[in-house]
A = this chain, B = another copy of it.
Amino acid sequence: MGAERRDTGAKGGDDVVALLWRGATPVRRGPRPRFSIDGIVTAATTIADARGLDAVTMQSVAESLGTTKMALYRYVPGRVELDALMLDTALGTPPPAAAGSPWHVALTDWARSVHARALARPWSVELAQRPHVPGPVELAWFESGLAALAGLPLTGAEKLDTLALLVGHVMSLVRQQPAGASPEADLAARLAPVLAERAGEYPHSLAAFTGASSGARDDALRFGVARVVAGVAALADERG
C-alpha cells in the first residue's frame, strides 16, 4: 500500500465531482452496459465490509461481478474515483432529526449516529480522512449537523468547526477499533513490559493507562462529545 494516494489534482477532482454529483444518465448509443456504477460500488463495498479496504482491488471487484478488471474502467475512471463513490455511500443517509429536541441533545445524537455508522464500516474512516470532495450524502450529514446548531449564536465558520471537531473525535475512536480483535488490550499487553522497565520516565502515562484499563472504550465517545457540547454551551452562554 502505498498507503496514500495524493490526488486533489484538478483533472482528477473534476472527474470525481462529476461522478458523485451525476444526474440522470442520458440515453446512449451502442450496446447496453452490462453493469452500473451503483452495482460496482456495491460490490466493492461488500468486499470492503468482508475483507477490508486492502482487499478492494479492481481485480477483486471484477471477479465478484463475474467480469475482468478492465471492463470496470468503462464505468469508473480509476481507483481514486471508486474510493470517492464508496465513501459517499458508506454511511448511508443521516437519520431524520427528532423535531423539538434541544440543540445539545440533537448534536449529541448526531455525533452518536456518525459514530455508529462509521463503526459499522471502519474502512470509510480511512477514506473520509483523506482530502476529498464531499458527495451528496456526506453533505447531507453536514446539513443535518448544521441544522442541530441552527439556533445558536455562532458564525457559520464556528458551526463548521464544531462539526469538524466532533467528526475528528469520532474518526479517531473508530480508527482504534479494528473490528475483530482486542482493541487496546492487545496494545497495552505489548507495551506493558516495556513500560514497566521505564516506569520512572513515564509516571503519568503508567498511572493513566493502568487506571484506564477497566472502563469500556465507548466511554471515550460519550466523554468527548459531552466535553465539546459543554464547551459550545459555555460559548453560547457567554454570548447570551
User: In the assembly, what is the distance between CA of A14 and CA of B186, in Å?
Assistant: 11
User: Would you call A157 and B212 a contact (CB within 8 A)?
Assistant: yes
Say whether chain A's binding surface is mostly helix, strand, loop, or mixed.
Answer: helix
User: Would you call A133 and B202 a contact (CB within 8 A)?
Assistant: no
Segment from A24-32, A33-41, A139-147 that makes contact with B: A139-147
192-208 of chain A: CB within 8 A of chain B = 194, 201-205, 207-208
207-232 of chain A: CB within 8 A of chain B = 207-212, 214-215, 219-220, 223-224, 226-232
Q: Supply 7 further A-B pairs (C-beta < 8 A) apart from A129-B172, A167-B172.
A: A4-B126, A142-B202, A160-B209, A161-B224, A164-B220, A165-B228, A230-B231
Q: Is A100 in contact with chain B by the CB < 8 A criterion?
A: no
User: Would you call B227 and A231 a contact (CB within 8 A)?
Assistant: yes
User: Would you call A5 and B1 a contact (CB within 8 A)?
Assistant: yes
Point out residues on A near B: beta carbons under 8 Å.
1-6, 8, 13-14, 17, 21, 52-54, 126, 129-131, 133-134, 139-140, 142-143, 146-147, 150, 155-162, 164-165, 167-169, 171-173, 175-176, 178, 181, 186-187, 190-191, 194, 201-205, 207-212, 214-215, 219-220, 223-224, 226-235
User: In the assembly, what is the distance between CA of A87 and CA of B33, in Å?
Assistant: 46
Which of B134, B150, B172, B205 sits near A171, CB closer than 8 Å?
B172
Which of B3, B53, B175 sits near A53, CB closer than 8 Å?
B3
